[in-house]
Amino acid sequence: MNALPAPHRPGPLPTRMQLEDGRLRHLLTIEGLGRPLIEQILDNAESFAGMNDQGVKKLPLLRGKTVANLFFEASTRTRTTFELAAKRLSADVLSLNMNASATTKGETLLDTLRNLEAMQCDMFVVRHADSGAAHFIARHVAPHISVLNAGDGRHAHPTQALLDVFTIRRHKGELSKLRVAIVGDVLHSRVARSQIHALNTLATGEVRVIGPRTLLPAAVEQLGVQVYHNMEQGLKDVDVIIMLRLQKERMQGAFIPSEHEYFQRYGLDARRLALAHPEAIVMHPGPANRGVEIASEVADGPHSVILRQVTYGLSVRMAVMSMVMGVNPQVRA
């Protein structure tokens, strides 16, 4: 897009940008969010989770508000869940294909934002291939508009991380007693970075990353994780396994010999799953590549909570949307 003037990296003060008088105004990254605020988001999501079993899955909390989904990068699952979450809160929703918008005709992103502001939008949900895009937009929007980062480059995907920890808390309970393994392409994964920040902020017992040296960031242990390059050693006795997709669209060069060999060394099959705790759960932020990072017998097996993650994503996004709009959910599970 003709949009982001260089440099477009994440700003240095996400905490100040995200919070206003202690209240969540934007959600751009997990970094800088304290444990009480993350727990408040999870608790509010718990309140919304009970709606999934109700006949009428709608609340009037955002009636009169307008949410604009600005997706500069292809997405189906994330865009759909944000849209559905907003509609369940009774907001009006605009889902715009920004790759076919006026920005492709020469209009700057700021001009596009000004036009959307003139349409009285209240919230922008932003996905972009460039790290820092959501921060850039948050710096330039009108004071009444909130910005939610739906994934920016290799930087952050905060709502995915929140729904992941929500899933872990629901299925495994107290995080301080758990060993969590994040497996695969951590280097290119905005999800993994946000997961690590969220898990450590919530004082998870142990966070491990497992992968080949080529797919782990330099000095990744400084993020507060234990590093394993051997899959069998890394999975031993873990309570939660989070598999990551190979981000081939972000790779420039050969990071693995072949997908077949990658699966042989780092794919999760039933034999390797047996090394984990007998009641371990298996997660994947999706979309999952069967036979590349995970075998179908595991993806569809009894330990998998992958589809539950999708369901919980609605509740977490409803919680975040209501909180940035200053609305307290008055529902019960």
Q: Which residues are annotated as a binding site for L-aspartate?
A: 105, 190, 245
Residues marked as binding? Answer: 77-78, 105, 127, 157, 160, 190, 245, 286-287
Give me the catalytic one of 65, 127, 188, 317.
127
- Cα separation, 62 vs 151, in Å, equals 23
CA distance 302 to 28: 34
Query: Which residues does 233 contact at the CB level (< 8 Å), separation at least 6?
Result: none
CA torsion angle for 176, 177, 182, 187 (degrees, to 10)? Answer: 30
201 has catalytic annotation = no
Q: Of residues 25, 65, 78, 284, which has the active-site annotation? A: 78
For the question of residue 105 being annotated catalytic, the response is yes
Q: Which residues are annotated as a binding site for carbamoyl phosphate?
A: 77-78, 127, 157, 160, 286-287
Is 78 assigned a catalytic role? yes
- Residue 127: active-site member: yes
Quote the CA–CA distance of 214 and 235 in Å, as a whole number.
19
Catalytic position from the list 8, 77, 114, 277: 77
Residue where the block lists tokens 């994780």: 225
Does 290 qualify as catalytic in the annotation?
A: no
Q: Which amino acid is at 209?
A: V
Q: Give the SS3 label for residue 75.
A: coil
Q: Which of 157, 172, 188, 303 is catalytic?
A: 157
Identify which of 332, 329, 317, 323 has the alpha carbon closest to the alpha carbon of residue 83.
Answer: 317
User: Which residues are tagged catalytic?
Assistant: 77-78, 105, 127, 157
